[in-house]
A and B are shown apart, each in its own frame.
Chain A
Amino acid sequence: MVIKKSEQIVTARGLVKKFGDFTAVKGIDFTVAGGECFGLLGPNGAGKSSVVRMIHGFSPVTGGSLAVFGKDISAGSREIKARIGVVPQDDNLDPELTVWQNLVVYAGYFRMQKDRAESRAEEILAFMDLSEKSGHVVEHLSGGQKRRLTIGRALINQPDLLILDEPTTGLDPHARRIVWQRLRRLKEAGTTMILTTHYLEEASQLCDRLLVLHRGSILEEGAPAELVHRHVGSHALELGLDPGQMGMLAEGLERLIKSRQLLGDEMVLFTDQGRDLAAKISARADEMDIAISRQMLRQSNLEDVFLKLTGETLTGDHEEEPGGDR
C-alpha cells in the first residue's frame, strides 16, 4: 500500500488512558501524517508508552477516540496490526532461536509465504548489517545486535507505520549511532515513524515533529528546531555565581535575555545573542567585582526547552510518577 504524504496515519482526539485510579494519558489530541517521523518526548511516567501501546492495539483506549489508517483501533485491530511494525522497549526476541529463525517465525505471524518470508529476512539482515550473524542463536548476540534485529523484525511486513518505543535505551553510544543511521535511512525511504524517547539528541536527530508530554498532558508541539527557537533561543550561557547577585549583573541586559533558569547553584541564561551577552556579562562582572566561578557559552538544545517548560530535567531525578514508566 502506498501512503500519500498528506494522509493521516494516526488521529487521536481527547485520548485518555487510565490504570485503575491513575490517569496515565489525560485527554490528548494529535495527528501523525504519512512519511513523517513523529516523536513523543518526555521523562519516565509521562505517558509515552501508554500512547504507543494504544496505537498498536495492545492496550485498550479508556476514553476519546483513536483512529489508525482511518479506522477505529478498538474495532478491527488485526487488519491494523498487519500494517504496523512494533519495536518494543524491552527486547522480546526468541532467545533460543537463531537470528534467521526469529525473522522467519515472526513473518509467519503475518501469514507470509515461506519464500516471501525468506527473501524479506535476507533483505533485512543485509540492511541491518546482521547477515554474518544469521545462524547465530540470539542469546549470544550483543545488546546492539539484538536491538538491530528487533528493529529488523518489525520491518518484516514492510509496515506502513513503524512504532519505536525507546529504541536505543540501554545501548552504548556507538551502538546507538548505528541504530540512528538505520532509522534515518528508513525515514529517507518514506517510512512513517512514531518514536518515543527521553534522549533529546535522538529526538532532534530523527524527528520532524515532536510532542512534549508531561504527566499525561501535552506541553508543547512542533519541530525540534522551532521549539528551541521559540522557547530558549540559540544559545545558553551557564554562569556559576551567587544567584542573589544575578539581578544586579543582568540589569540593563534584559533585551538580550530570552529566558533564565536556576539549575542547582548555576544560572542559565537563554539568548539569541550569545557572544554579545557573554562579553557584556564578563565586563560587568569585572566592573562590579562579582565573582563568576564558571562561565560557559553553548548552543541551546531540547533539554533546555524541556527544563524551561517543566522546571525538571528529562532524566526525571526530581520526581517520580506513581507506577513508574507506563
Chain B
Amino acid sequence: MPKTKELIREIFTRPDLSWPLIWRVFYRNLLVFKKTWVANIMFNFVEPLLYLWAIGLGLGAYVASIGGLTYIDFLAPALIGSSAMFSTAYEMTYGSFTRMTYQKTFHGMVSTPVSMDDVVMGEIIYGTFKGVLYGMVFLIVVALFGVVKSPWALLIPFPLALMVMIISILSLIWTSIAPNYDSFGYFFTLIITPMFLFSGVFFPVESLPAGAAFLPWLTPLYHAVEIIRPLTLGLVDRSAVTHLVWLAVFVLLTVRIPLVMVKKRLVQ
C-alpha cells in the first residue's frame, strides 16, 4: 500500500515545531478548560470514587489480602492511574475530534504562524496536563482514605505524565482516523476498558492464565500502576526504573505518529 509507505516515510521526517507557539496552543485549551472545569472534574472524578467505595470497600471486605496488602491499599493507588487515563482518553477523542472537525479550531490556528505539528503537540501536552491534574485530584481522595503512606507519593506526577502522554498519543491516532463520534465507542470498548480491567488495577496480573500473562506488559497503564502503587505505599524498589524506561521509550517511539496522521487527515 503506497499510502502506508508514505506514512511511515513521513514519521521519520523532522516535525515542524516551535515551542513558544505550542505553549500558545496549550494555553488556548487551558483557557477553555477553565470555563468548564467544575462540571468536568466532577464527571471524571465521581466514577473512580464509586469504584473505590463499591469494590475497594464493598468487595474488599471479602478479600483478606493481596500480596500482603489490604484490598483498598492495593486498589486505591491504581485508580489514580486509571482515572487519569480516562480523563485524558475522553479529552483526546471527543474533545480533540470536536476541535478538529466541527469547531475547526485547528484550521484557525494554522492560518497563523502556528504549524499543524505545533497544534497536535499542543493537544498532546494538554491531554497530558489534564490526566496529571485529575490523577492528582484523585491522589488527594486516596489520601483522605488513609492509603497514602509515604512522601514518595509526591513523585507520582512523573510516571503519571508519561502514561497519560501515551494515552494522548494513542487517542489522537484513533481520532485522526475516526469518521464520527460513534467510533470512539470502539476505542473505549476495545482498548481503554480492557486496559482498565487487565492491567493490575483490580487484581495482580499473575492471576492471568499463562498464555495471556504477557498482555499487561504491553499496556502503559500496567507500567504506571506498578510504579504508582509502591510510591503511594512507600514500597519502592528498583523495578520502578524498568517501568519508567518502558513508558519513556514508548513515548519517544510513538509521539511523531499522531502529528503525521492528523496532518494527513486535515491538510489536502
Contact = CB atoms under 8 A, between A and B. Distances in A.
B95 to A, nearest CB: 11
Interface stretch (B45-53, B106-114, B222-230): B106-114
Interface stretch (A27-35, A106-114, A204-212, A287-295): A106-114
A118 to B, nearest CB: 15
Contacts, number: 70
Interface stretch (B17-25, B68-76, B162-170, B174-182): B17-25
B104 A105 contact: no
Contacts of A84: 111
Interface string A85-110: 01010111111110001000110111
Contacts of B36: 96
Contact of A88 (B18, B104, B115, B267): B104
Interface residues of A, number: 30
B31 A105 contact: yes
Contact of A95 (B27, B103, B113): B103
Contacts of B108: 88, 92-94, 106
A97 B267 contact: no
A94 B104 contact: no
A281 B24 CA distance: 68
A127 interface: no
B113 A111 contact: yes
Given A78-B18, A92-B107, A108 B113 contact: no
Contact of A109 (B35, B107, B109, B267): B109
B111 A88 contact: yes
B110 A94 contact: no
Contacts of B111: 56, 58, 81, 84, 86, 88, 154
A111 B103 contact: no
Contacts of B25: 109
B254 interface: no
A101 B21 CA distance: 17
B64 interface: no
Given A96-B36, A108-B27, A111-B20, A58 B107 contact: yes
B28 interface: yes
Interface in B80-114: 103-105, 107-114
Contacts of B24: 105, 108-109, 111
Nearest to A105: B28
A285 interface: no
B78 to A, nearest CB: 33
Contacts of A19: 268
B39 interface: no
A82 interface: yes
The 3 closest A-B pairs by CB, nearest first: A92-B104, A109-B112, A86-B111
Interface of A: 19, 56, 58-60, 77-79, 81-82, 84, 86, 88, 90-97, 101, 105-106, 108-111, 154, 157
Given A92-B107, A109-B25, 19 more contacts: A56-B111, A58-B111, A58-B267, A78-B115, A82-B112, A82-B113, A90-B104, A92-B104, A93-B108, A94-B28, A96-B32, A101-B31, A105-B28, A108-B24, A108-B28, A109-B21, A110-B112, A110-B113, A154-B111
15 contacts: A19-B268, A60-B267, A78-B18, A88-B107, A88-B111, A91-B104, A92-B105, A92-B108, A94-B103, A95-B103, A96-B36, A101-B31, A105-B27, A109-B113, A110-B113
Interface of B: 18, 20-21, 24-25, 27-28, 31-32, 35-36, 103-105, 107-115, 267-268
